[in-house]
Amino acid sequence: MSASSLVAESVWKSIESTRSVTEDQLSILHFLFGKNIERATRIVDQRGVRRISGEPSGRSIFKVVGESRRKEEYLCFAENYCACYSFFYDIVNKGEQLCCKHQLAARLASALGACVEVNVSDEQLALLLAKL
Amino acid sequence: MIESFFDGNQVEILETHVDPITLLSGPPCCGKTSLLFQFAYNCASQSNANVVFMCNRSRLQSKRPYLSQSIDPSSHVFKLIQMKYVEDDEEIKKYFAAFHQHDKIPTAVVVDDFGDLFDDRTCQERYTNPRGRDLAMVRTLALCYNAITHANKKSPCKLLLSDTHLGNSTRLLYIYKRWISSIFTVKGDGPGSFLLRNKNYSRSCGLGKTRIAKYSIALKDLVFEGITDDNEQ
């Protein structure tokens, strides 16, 4: 893990422990992730992050609403995957950014406890994941 | 961890910290399947639990792996190794998508020739993208990572993938590195002889030494020939 990832992890952890985010923490996140963190906070404020959890296993995946007018939803594993265009091209291919805005929104919502929680059966989750 | 690719009678297999996901990358016909089989055998015998071995059926039948001499092919340990024959990446995705539904999680899952499961044409058509194959690999690796990480919350579970590369290293390393921190590479070292070396991309990189294991498959057995420390970093 790079130094940036380690710093980010400690910020997420402290947000999670207080279920709130301070100006200082936002500055650090902005320093690490740039404009994407602003876009992410907008998505979280609009309740655009859903966590879909399978019962009884507890395995989960996020569905995050995009910012385009079409309101597309992207399947996302917060730490290391998103179905959006930016993840594949900017992050995996060019290595230019650490996270796309949907991953950040998922991370932030999860730390704040601001996800819309959806519970499905393990079988339904498997069907959803198979279409990744 | 490098010892776990070889016979426990010839080299001591230490219980050190093991990364949950590992890649073994090497040129064609260098004994990768044999190393994978040895690894599966070691996992099954150490933990006395199920190991799932995924590969292409016809390829396995046309090129059977070599076991190390001291291993008895009729050993009860092989009963713990469950063969799962797969044809393409969709089947792998279905397996890991449903991984959380297992009653008993296997102690290890081994996938031979991971890269070969992704067909260029099929992937390009599926995603209507000329980089379809890379995209498919990203999605499948993310799914595997999530499945294994989730499984490890309940009981230890390892994933070992193998891939074939031509030339000095795999072009797809930039993709693999994102989800796999422990990567082993094989290099030729004379007829039938090979060197297995680990490259660690995880957080602890630099703290452990890089080690090189020498082995041979020249006489149709997997023969372990020694481990040295890597001097050229």
Domains and CATH numbers, chain B: 2-190 (3.40.50.300)
Residue type at B160 in one-letter notation: L
Partners of residue B163 on adjacent β-strands:
B25
The two tokens of residue B64 are 């059977």
Q: What is the CA radius of gyration of chain A?
A: 14
* Buried residues in B122-144 as b, exposed as e (16+ CB within 10 A): ebbeebeeeebbbbbbbbbbbbb
Of the candidates B47, B50, B42, the residue with the CA atom closest to the CA atom of residue B106? B50
Residue B210 vs residue A129, higher pLDDT: A129
ipTM of the complex: 0.93
According to the model, what pLDDT value does residue A68 have?
83
- The answer to whether A53 and A120 have CB atoms below 8 angstroms apart is yes
The two tokens of residue A71 are 């309101």
- The answer to whether B127 and B137 have CB atoms below 8 angstroms apart is no
Helix or strand or coil: residue B190? coil
Distance from CA of A56 to the nearest CA of B (A): 9
Q: Of the candidates B94, B147, B178, which has its C-beta nearest A92's C-beta?
A: B178
Q: Which residues of A touch B (CB under 8 A)?
A: 1, 54, 57-59, 61, 77, 80-81, 83, 88, 92-93, 95, 122-123, 125-130, 132
The answer on pLDDT for B204 being more than 50 is: no
DSSP-H helix ranges across chain B: 32-47, 57-62, 89-97, 120-127, 132-151, 173-179
Nearest chain B alpha carbon to A54: B100
Interface contact B152, partner A, CB < 8 A: no
CB spacing of A57 vs B143 below 8 angstroms: no
Query: Under 8 Å CB-to-CB from B72, ≥6 apart: which residues?
Result: none
Q: Number of structural domains, chain A?
A: 1
CB count within 10 Å of CB B220 equals: 12
Percent of the residues in chain B that have a pLDDT greater than 70, as a whole number: 91
> What domain range includes position A126?
3-130
d(CA B205, CA B193): 28
Contacts of B202 in chain A (CB under 8 A): 1
* Buried residues in B37-76 as b, exposed as e (16+ CB within 10 A): bbbbbbbbbebebbbbbbbbeeebeeeebbbbeebeeeee
Q: Of the candidates A80, A93, A125, which has its C-beta nearest B179's C-beta?
A: A80
d(CA A20, CA A15): 6
- The answer to whether A30 and A37 have CB atoms below 8 angstroms apart is yes
Lowest mean pLDDT among A63-67, A71-75, A77-81, A94-98: A94-98
According to the model, what pLDDT value does residue A16 have?
94
Distance from CA of B65 to the nearest CA of A (A): 31
Which of B101, B126, B175, B202 should one mutate to test binding to chain A, selecting the residue with the greatest count of A CBs within 10 A? B101
Q: How many CA atoms lie within 13 A of B186 on its CB side?
A: 29
Read off the pTM.
0.92
Which of A5, A86, A132 should one mutate to test binding to chain B, selecting the residue with the greatest count of B CBs within 10 A? A132
In tens, the pLDDT along A108-120 reads: 999 999 999 999 9
Burial (CB < 10 A; 0-12, 13-18, 19+), residue A95, is exposed
Tell me: cis bond preceding A56? Omega within 30 of 0 counts. Answer: yes
Distance from CA of B121 to the nearest CA of A (A): 19
Q: How many CA atoms lie within 13 A of A31 on its CB side?
A: 12
Helix or strand or coil: residue A57? coil
Mean pLDDT of B206-213: 72
In tens, the pLDDT along A5-41 reads: 889 999 999 999 999 999 999 999 999 999 999 999 9
In tens, the pLDDT along B70-110 reads: 888 888 999 999 999 999 999 999 999 999 999 899 999 99
